[in-house]
Structure 1
Amino acid sequence: MTTLNQQLEQLKVIPVIAINKVEDAIPLGRALVENGMPCAEITFRTECAVEAIRAMRSEFPEMLIGAGTVLTNEQVDQAIDAGVDFIVSPGFNPRTVQYCLDKNVAIVPGVNNPSLVEQAMEMGLRTLKFFPAEPSGGVAMLKALTAVYPVKFMPTGGVSLSNVDQYLSVPSVLACGGTWMVPTDLIDQGKWDELGQLVRDAVNHVA
């Protein structure tokens, strides 16, 4: 069985998605899968996130699907019930982390300094989200953390086509989270061909 880390490392880029209409979930999933990016981090920043995850999971059972911006235990339960493969949180909340561990679901919490990395390691985590990446010092900060701690990172926040190579060149980076290939306005407008091209460009860029 392929581990989450192996899947992330293979994908290199994880699209971070804010979806406003559940009916967009399946065409969006199709645009991702058909253009070489069979993964999605659906954020809990919109009301239809849970149903969007459920629809995408039903239609694309092989996709790697995460729930992002998870802040509460209730959201963890909703995400698991909808069929996610992993949970992502913007910060490090020990209560949420422990709840995910108890539920046997992978969580990638956000950290951006040494103290948070150590707290995460204390709870047995070795894969962390570096967030917000660019405002927190970018590649230089990431390299400083990597030099000290034996963990893997998924940088998110300010990562784009112009700097993704710099992040992926850091050995501890498994993959980068990004929104540039899944802009919400294109999703809202149903511009699947245009969105598919952005996805394809991202896939080709990191190949």
Structure 2
Amino acid sequence: MEPATQSQKAQSICELAPIIPVLIVETVEQAEPLARALVAGGLPALEVTLRTEAALDVIAAMSRVEGGVVGAGTLLTPDDVKRAVDAGAQFGVSPGSSDKLLAACEDEGLALLPGAASATEAMRLLEAGYFIQKFFPAEAAGGAPFLKSLSSPLPQISFCPTGGVSPENATDYLSLPNVICAGGSWVAPKDKVKSGDWDAIEALARNAAKLPR
């Protein structure tokens, strides 16, 4: 899949809701009820980070939830990409980018949100055809003021800021002309996932889905 086509697909996924939940899921038993709660709350695009042993099984389980669009986060290597696609991931997210990672996603036809944290990184990705990018780590890399400063010289790029985005600052990002959505982990707090408080998670998702952009 060509990078521009990948970005078009990524754009359609990012447009589904203002927030993409960033999920660290410890057990596969949590996968389906968590996905159902988030989708019911209005957040259909789900990023499952490859940071637990259960992550690939979680992607497979969540992919069975009606209305969900499940992606794999923390893609670092071509092997990560292959395993994520085999598990059913419909999109990928990476904290940065490398030539090998980009080539693997293109070969597998996986829509990718490649990470950038500087103007140079963003320009290199744009040159390669990626006009939808992840801005990571958002708060540590300069936050909403930094992204705003990129909007004039690089209006062709839309970002999904992730890393430190919270209910308190989400609107600062979402109000920017070059932000398409944001990634957030607060909609699935570790304690509520562990206790199986799916109603509370659905309520958090519902509030996040109402954020203006």
Q: Normalising TM by the smaller chain, what interval?
A: over 0.9
Task: Give the partner amino acid of 1:103.
Answer: E
Among 118, 121, 130, the residue aligned to 2:126: 121
2:203 matched residue in structure 1: 197
Task: Give the partner amino acid of 1:51.
Answer: D
How far did 1:122 drift?
Answer: 2.3
Among 152, 173, 180, the residue aligned to 1:167: 173
CA contact (8 A) 1:21 1:188 kept: no
1:94 matched residue in structure 2: 99
For the aligned residue pairs, the C-alpha RMSD in angstroms reads 1.5
Task: Give the partner amino acid of 1:34.
Answer: A
List gaps (5 residues or longer) in structure 2. 1-7
**Equivalent position SS for 1:75:** helix
**Equivalent position SS for 1:36:** coil
Count of aligned pairs: 205
Q: 2:85 matched to 1:80?
A: yes
Among 131, 135, 138, the residue aligned to 2:143: 138
CA contact (8 A) 1:17 1:184 kept: no
CA contact (8 A) 1:113 1:145 kept: no
Q: Given the two structures, how large is their TM-score scaled by the length of structure 1?
A: 0.93
Task: Give the partner amino acid of 2:77.
Answer: T
**Equivalent position SS for 1:26:** helix
Task: Give the partner amino acid of 1:128.
Answer: Q
Q: Distance in 2 between matches of 1:112 and 1:160?
A: 19
CA contact (8 A) 1:17 1:182 kept: yes
CA offsets 1:68-109 (integer angstroms, 9 cap, x no match): 011111110111111111110011222101211122211111
Task: Give the partner amino acid of 1:31.
Answer: A
Task: Give the partner amino acid of 1:14.
Answer: I
Task: Give the partner amino acid of 2:127.
Answer: E
**Equivalent position SS for 2:145:** helix
Q: Distance in 1 between matches of 2:110 and 2:120?
A: 24
How far did 1:121 drift?
Answer: 1.6
1:103 matched residue in structure 2: 108
CA offsets 1:145-195 (integer angstroms, 9 cap, x no match): 222121110000111111111111111111000001111221122111222
After the TM superposition, which residues 33-112 of structure 1 pair with which residues of structure 2 at under 5 Å, given as runs? 33-60=39-66, 62-112=67-117
1:27 matched residue in structure 2: 33
Identity rate of aligned residues, in percent?
A: 40
Q: Distance in 2 between matches of 1:156 and 1:183?
A: 16
How far did 1:206 drift?
Answer: 3.6
Q: Distance in 2 between matches of 1:205 and 1:183?
A: 18
Task: Give the partner amino acid of 1:86.
Answer: F
CA contact (8 A) 1:18 1:42 kept: yes
List gaps (5 residues or longer) in structure 1. none
Q: Given the two structures, how large is their TM-score scaled by the length of structure 2?
A: 0.91
Task: Give the partner amino acid of 1:135.
Answer: A
Q: Distance in 1 between matches of 2:197 and 2:138?
A: 29
Task: Give the partner amino acid of 1:35.
Answer: G
